Structure formats: C-alpha cells, structure tokens
C-alpha cells in the first residue's frame, strides 16, 4: 500500500475486469481517501500508474461532478499552468465502471490537513507564500491569447453564482435553516461590480494542493473551474483559511492547521495577493460571505448523500450540523459588513 492511499472503501469498488480490458493490461487499484466528493483512485499497471477520477455515488446536483468537463478544463489549462496535472484519457462509456471517468498523471507531494510532515522541511510562512503566489499566478494567466476565454461566461458571473448555489441549497436541504434566507437576500442585494475576468478554480484550498519542497507540486479538483471574477476564488479560499489572529472566525469542521503560529494572517494574505496581482480588493468582504455561503452548500450536498443512505462514510455524519454552522458564520459576516 502506498503511504497516501488506502484500500478501496466498501461500496466504492471499481469493476477491475472491465477496467483492465479498457486499459489493455492487468491493473490493481487503491483509493485516495481524503476527498469528500469525487472519488479518486490510484490505478497501477505493470510499469506505470495513473490517477482515475469519477463522480461520487448517489444523488448528484445538476451540472455537478462533470468529469468530462473537468478533463477538458485540465487539458486546456495544463499547457499554461504546470501545476494542473496532465490528463490522458476520458471514458464516457458507463459500461466500464458505471460512470464517466478520466485518467491523469500522478503528482507527488504532501496534502496538508492537520500537520506539516517533518520531511517537507518548510515553514508555515514559506507554505503560505507558495500557496498565495500559486493562486495569483492562476489569476494572472492571459485568457484570450491562450484561448481560455471559452471556458466560461464572465458576464453576470457573480449573480449566476448566487442564484445557482441558492438553488443547489434548496435541492439539498434536509432541515430548515432560516438564516440561509437572510444570507441569500444579502448576497442578492449587495452585488458588487465585477473585476476583470480570470480563471476561477472555485475550490482553491490548502488540501486541494500538493506541496513539495520549495514549490506547489499540483493543484487538484478542477471540476468547478470557470471564467469569472477572481475575487470569488479569493473569497472562497479565505473561507477555508483559519486565521491565527481571528480564531473566533473560522469555518466549522475545517482543519485548523493555519491557526497555528507562523501561517499568514488574513491581512498578510490579502496584502501579498494584491501585490502579486495588482487587483483592487475593496469588495473582498462580499466575496468572503459568498465563499462561506458556497462552502455551506457544498457541505450540505455531501450530507444529503449520507442522509439518503447513498454513502455510509462516517466522516459525513455531522455534516448537516457543519452546514448550519457555516450558514450562521455567513450571516454573521454579512451583518458585520452591512
């Protein structure tokens, strides 16, 4: 067993015979256990290996977990942003493993959740800087000259984000959370003017990057990537980041690694990003609320699968409570910035 993989979870097995026939050689499979949504596997042949990505089992929101779209996004972005892994094959035939999937290269590095491994030999400050600079580089890639402007529609991006994620919340609800109506109303009535468009990863967080000595080895999980206001990315990233100077404002259930000494504070984070991109951050408070709102919806969507018995993963048992706590945090931030 590889140090970063585990045996495949019960109920999430792949049809190895069909997969081997598709690959043209015998294969063995292990699972990357850390993710909460799409299922990711290590596929090993005789002398090579691949990473396989497929959608989760169970109820899936419309347009979510689109593996064919993620494959095409990675194929377009990889030549201009080497942290995006190279993709190899897309299979849209559900007869192979029961769902669309794609194969991409395996990258090696550390995914940081609750500690910095001793062999990484990096300080929290160094990792903070690598992480922020990586996001800044992504947001600085020219779109039109690289043919990347076709990956999304920046006009009306923020308004569509609010409307679309509100609809996702309503489809995923398992209990009444009255504060969410307040959050949605605040977001609808405080829409800011949009900045110049960039690539928006839409889930850029510490445990979606692989850290290697002196570099970010990979950025993962590109399924929600589009073109829009980069501050939407920055706001969501801040909603995941726990600030040592504001321990009372942290997202429920998110590992608190960045609460430890040495990590960038919120102010340092924003100052470095602004210096690297030259972007105006005057509306960042709005995008922080938007980010926490979206994170609440994501957590609730995951909980819905558990609630319906479509996954037995015990990690998701309290996700309904976490989603409600995130809604309360979003409401508090919105009130503070009203």
CATH number of the domain at 118-336, please?
3.90.1200.10
Reported as a single tens digit per residue, the pLDDT across 149-167 is 999 999 999 999 999 999 9
Q: How confident is the model at residue 318 (pLDDT cuts 50, 70, 90)?
A: confident
pLDDT for residue 253: 47
Q: Is the whole-model pTM more than 0.85?
A: yes
Q: What was the pLDDT predicted at 117?
A: 93
> 141 with 266: CB under 8 angstroms?
no
Instruction: Report percent pLDDT > 70 for the chain.
Output: 93
- CATH 3.90.1200.10 residue ranges of the chain are 118-336
Q: What is the pLDDT of residues 35-48, one digit of tens each?
A: 667 899 999 999 99
User: What's residue 37's pLDDT?
Assistant: 74
Whether domain 16-104 has CATH 3.40.50.720: the reply is no
Q: Is the pLDDT of residue 8 over 60?
A: yes
Q: How confident is the model at residue 254 (pLDDT cuts 50, 70, 90)?
A: low
pLDDT tens digit string along 13-40? 999 999 999 999 999 999 998 766 789 9
pLDDT band at 220 (very low <50, low <70, confident <90, very high): very high
128 has pLDDT over 50: yes
Domain with CATH 3.30.200.20 in the chain: 16-104
């Amino acid at each position: 067993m590889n140090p970063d993989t585990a045996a495949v979870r019960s109920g999430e097995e792949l049809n190895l015979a069909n997969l081997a026939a598709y690959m043209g050689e015998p294969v063995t499979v292990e699972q990357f256990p850390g993710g909460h949504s799409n299922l990711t596997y290590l596929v090993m042949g005789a002398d090579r290996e691949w990473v396989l990505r497929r959608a989760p089992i169970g109820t899936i929101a419309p347009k979510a977990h689109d593996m064919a779209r993620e494959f095409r996004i990675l194929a377009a972005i990889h030549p201009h942003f080497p942290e995006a892994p190279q993709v190899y094959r897309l299979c849209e035939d559900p007869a192979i493993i029961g769902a669309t999937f794609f194969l991409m290269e395996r990258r090696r590095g550390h995914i940081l959740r609750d500690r910095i491994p001793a062999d990484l030999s990096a300080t929290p400050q160094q990792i903070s800087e690598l992480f922020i600079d990586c996001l800044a580089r992504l947001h600085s890639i020219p779109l039109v000259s690289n043919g990347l402007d076709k990956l999304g529609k920046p006009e009306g991006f923020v308004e569509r984000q609010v409307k679309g994620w509100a609809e996702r919340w309503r489809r995923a609800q398992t209990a009444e959370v009255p504060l969410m109506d307040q959050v949605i109303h605040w977001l609808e009535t405080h829409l800011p003017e949009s900045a110049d468009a960039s690539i928006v990863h839409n889930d850029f967080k510490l445990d979606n990057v692989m850290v290697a000595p002196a570099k970010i080895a990979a950025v993962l999980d590109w399924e929600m990537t589009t073109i829009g206001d980069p501050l939407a990315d920055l706001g969501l990233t801040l909603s995941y980041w726990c600030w040592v100077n504001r321990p009372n404002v942290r997202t429920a259930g998110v590992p608190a690694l960045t609460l430890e000494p040495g990590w960038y504070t919120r102010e340092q984070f924003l100052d470095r990003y602004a210096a690297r991109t030259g972007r105006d951050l005057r509306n960042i408070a709005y995008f922080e609320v938007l980010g926490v709102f979206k994170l609440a919806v994501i957590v609730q969507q995951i909980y819905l699968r558990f609630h319906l018995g479509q996954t037995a993963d015990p990690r998701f048992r309290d996700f309904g409570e976490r989603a409600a706590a995130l809604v309360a945090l979003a409401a508090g931030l919105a009130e503070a910035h009203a």
